[in-house]
Structure 1
Amino acid sequence: MARSARQQSESGYHHVMMRGIGRQLLFENNDERNAFLDIVRRYRDAMNISVIAWCLMDNHIHLLLKDNEGNLSKAMQRIAVTFAQFHNKNADHVGHVFENRFKSKPIESDAQLLACLRYIHDNPAKAGICAADVYPWSSFREYVCGGELTDTDLVLDMLGGREAFLDFSHAAASAYDEPGKPMRMADEDAHTAMRTVLGEAGMYDLEYGSKEKRDAALRMLKGAGLTVRQIERLTGIGRSTIQRA
């Protein structure tokens, strides 16, 4: 059976997940974790890929990447092959390391990007390991203390700095799901997303702006993943008006 075409992102941002075959361990020790990060760094530079967030779990990996030149599939293939060769040699293992090809989900709005970033950083807490801010194998610490693998400028500028990042990270977790599952958003996150996407000007247009500006704001909310019913509850605007926008 032919493989389905990978869904492309108009923005260039993708949430990428790689899992160990049969959900087996990918990392036997910290040397292997560091080796994987070195490999990502190598192909980030060679393929012009920006790393926005990452998290290494024992048997799977999350990456939030910006594909600047259409090289995502090629870069991920080379990362997977290079790490598999290292892992097999290091662990005296033979055979496949990763389960099938990598999964990816396009990210098309600021709200989706922020929800994805928090979802990635929250993986250790969801697994019952520890809180995101003390887990050593994610980009969380780079956002707080700096680092050279992750491009943190975009998110920090979006949120308003490191303190704002911490406030955002410690807020109620969003209902963002991993690639292959549908996007869901709780109402409290939908409210946060609405203010993040629209800003003060957009919030004003939503209530007092012209029909054109109001409809543009409504389209932005739908594009950010809010459902028609959520927008109706949060804004008081009628469902038919939201649907027509």
Structure 2
Amino acid sequence: MPNPKRIWYPRACFHITARGNRKTDIFYEPSDRYRYLQFLTEAKQSYPFKIHAYCLMTNHIHLLVETINHPPGTFMKDVHSKYAMYFNKKYDYVGHLFQGPYKADLQGDVNALLQVSRYIHLNPCRALITSKPETYKWSSYPHYLSLLPYPSSIVTTSTILSYFKSPEEYAFFVNLANKTTSGHP
């Protein structure tokens, strides 16, 4: 049975998630995450879209994307196909890397957008990898705080930050939930 047709329109925002088949790891070493980000950057050039937040965990990914002229399936198929071929060749694997198709939850309003951004940035904290989201290297959160020595062409921080007076106010918003969050993902 084919997958149901997804709702899509220009400027729609989606929380996209995908995880490894049988919940197995999809990133073994830093170069794997760099390659995934490279494939995302290339896809943005071919099928323009915005990434408002991302987090690359060991066995799954989170993206908060805004479409422009293409539905998310266009660029996600490209990214995941290329990454699966790279991963399978590098590690001499065969078969599916990802557990089924990615999930894309449409974000209907500004509040949903902000909550998902916070959720994505706190993912490493909920997984008990770090207690501070700014220390997790594989997330867009350090870009929001300008903690990286280089600008990022992959993430667009201006949309989320436009709802706050400063990056520090956004950090307060994110960390307010971090102090009250308990449990695992």
Contact 1:49 1:71 in 2 (8 A): no
SS in 2 for 1:70: coil
Count of residue pairs the alignment pairs up: 175
Indicate the structure with greater helix content: 1
Task: Please give the alpha-carbon distance, in whole angstroms, between the structure 2 residues aligned to 1:73 and 1:98.
Answer: 15
Name the aligned partner's letter for residue 33 of structure 2.
R
Alpha-carbon offset, residue 11 of structure 1: 4.6
The 8 Å contact of residues 51 and 150 in structure 1, kept in 2 or not, is answered as: yes
C-alpha deviation, 1:118, in angstroms: 0.3
For residues 1-245 of structure 1, the aligned pairs below 5 Å read 1-8=1-8, 11-130=11-130, 131-145=132-146, 146-172=151-177
Residue deviations 1:80-128 (CA, integer Å, cap 9, x gap)? 1000011011111111111111101001111000000000011111111
How many Å apart are 1:172 and its aligned residue? 2.3
Distance 1:9 1:115 in 2: 21
Taking the aligned partners of 1:72 and 1:2, their CA distance within structure 2 comes to 17
Superposition CA RMSD, Å: 1.7
Return structure 1 stretches of 4+ with deviation > 6 angstroms: none
List runs of 5+ in structure 2 lacking aligned partners: none
Helix, strand or coil: the match of 2:177? coil
In structure 1, C-alpha distance between the alignment counterparts of 2:86 and 2:139, rounded to whole Å: 21
- TM-score (ref. length: structure 1): 0.68
Paired letter, 1:142 = H
* 1:164-191 deviation per Cα after TM superposition (whole angstroms, max 9, x unaligned): 111111112599xxxxxxxxxxxxxxxx
TM-score (norm 2): 0.89
Identity of aligned residues (%): 27
Mapped contact 2:51–2:156 kept (Cα < 8 A): yes
- Contact in 2 for aligned 1:9/1:107 (Cα 8 Å): no
| Contact 1:9 1:106 (C-alpha < 8 Å) held by counterparts | no
**Which amino acid is 1:52 matched to?**
H
CA separation in 2, counterparts of 1:140 and 1:110?
Answer: 18
1:70 CA displacement: 2.6
Structure 1 unaligned residues grouped into runs of 5+: 176-245
SS in 1 for 2:70: coil
Deviation for aligned residue 1:161: 2.0
For 1:20 and 1:157, the matched residues in 2 are separated by 34
| Contact 1:133/1:141 (<8 A) preserved | yes
Q: Could you say what secondary structure the match of 2:85 adopts?
A: helix
Q: Secondary structure at the match of 1:97?
A: coil
